[in-house]
Amino acid sequence: MRIYELTFIVDPRVADEDVVAMTQEYKQMIAAGGSTISKEESWGRRKLAYPIEKLNEGKYVLLGIESEDGRTSLPEVEHRMRQNDKILRYLTVRIDEDLKRAAAKHPPAPAAAPGTPAPGEPAPPAEAAGEGA
Amino acid sequence: MARPRKVFYRRRKVCKFCADKIDYIDYKDVKLLQQFVPERSKILPRRISGTCARHQRLLQQAIKRARHLALIPFTTD
């Protein structure tokens, strides 16, 4: 399964309802491409670190997208965003591999199987620090 | 000849991400990333921050993504 994150910045002059409507449209496109929306975050108006198209603020929206078979309509969505001049920026990132790698390195807590002694002894008492003042 | 030998010491730098067990550096975590982009907004080199190679690579990627989304600046003038 592939997991993507699609973040985009909308022109702050666009009304909130219209941002919602736009987001809805993109979500429908994504759904039509056979992926599911796993997360939706609206960060609202946020100051940009540098001006984009002479604007100092932008409205951020983040969508989490999951695709079972790796086929998505993301290229189409990106194409639409490029054409929409109300979208100042967008970024699509595939994160499943990174998350998997991270989970493999430090598995989340409830992974302790019964009968498996925890590796490593409990934290030793703080030794005298080798650093003098 | 017990001459007091000059003791050098250098604080041992430890990779922050290894210490905190961070394996996925999120480009949205502006607070975290900002610690690695000082005033001029250049990426802090490993030799200064002590970040290990693997994490520096992940960090670099995250910073560049954050820059694209105007979460952190490319430069300050």
pLDDT of residue A116: 42
Residue A133 lies in a domain: no
The Cα–Cα gap between B37 and A49 comes to 13
CB within 8 Å of A72: residues ≥ 6 apart: A2, A4, A30, A33, A34, A35, A65
User: What is the interface size between A and B, counted as CB pairs within 8 Å?
Assistant: 41
Highest mean pLDDT among A44-53, A96-105, A110-119: A44-53
For A14, the domain range is: 2-104
Residue B74 lies in a domain: no
Is the pLDDT reported for residue A75 higher than 60?
A: yes
Q: Name which of B23, B27, B70 is nearest A106 (Cβ-Cβ).
A: B23
Residue A25 lies in a domain: yes
Is the pLDDT reported for residue A130 higher than 50?
A: no
Give the model confidence (pLDDT) of B13-41 as tens digits.
788 898 988 889 999 999 999 999 998 99
Shortest alpha-carbon distance between residue A9 and chain B (Å) = 8
What is the SS3 assignment for A58?
strand
Q: Max CA-CA distance within chain A? A: 65
Q: What is the CATH number of the domain that holds B27?
A: 4.10.640.10
- DSSP class of residue B43? P
Q: Do residue A49 and residue B65 have CB atoms under 8 angstroms apart?
A: no
- Kindly state the tokens that stand for A25: 């449209």
Rounded to two decimals, the pTM is 0.76
Look at chain B and report how many structural domains it folds into. Answer: 1
Residue B11 lies in a domain: no
Tell me the CA end-to-end span of chain B in Å, nearest whole number. Answer: 57
Q: Which of A67, A65, A52, A58 is CA-nearest to residue A92?
A: A65
Q: Which of B62, B32, B36 is CA-nearest to residue B47?
A: B36
pLDDT of residue A109: 53
Average pLDDT, chain A: 83
Residue B5 lies in a domain: no
Cβ of B53: how many Cβ atoms within 10 Å?
9
Q: What is the CATH number of the domain that holds A88?
A: 3.30.70.60
Residue A121 lies in a domain: no
Confidence of residue A133 (pLDDT cuts 50, 70, 90): very low
For B57, the domain range is: 16-68
Residue A89 lies in a domain: yes
Asked if A92 and A4 touch (Cβ cutoff 8 Å), the reply is: yes
Give the model confidence (pLDDT) of A94-112 as tens digits.
998 888 888 888 776 544 4
Shortest alpha-carbon distance between residue A100 and chain B (Å) = 9
Residue A68 lies in a domain: yes
Q: Is B8 an interface residue toward A (CB < 8 Å)?
A: no
Residue B77 lies in a domain: no
| CA contacts within 13 A on the Cβ side of B40 | 4
Q: Name which of B24, B65, B70 is nearest A50 (Cβ-Cβ).
A: B70
Give the model confidence (pLDDT) of B36-48 as tens digits.
999 899 999 999 9
Q: Is A54 an interface residue toward B (CB < 8 Å)?
A: no
Look at chain A and report how many structural domains it folds into. Answer: 1
Confidence of residue A69 (pLDDT cuts 50, 70, 90): confident
Asked if A37 and A30 touch (Cβ cutoff 8 Å), the reply is: yes
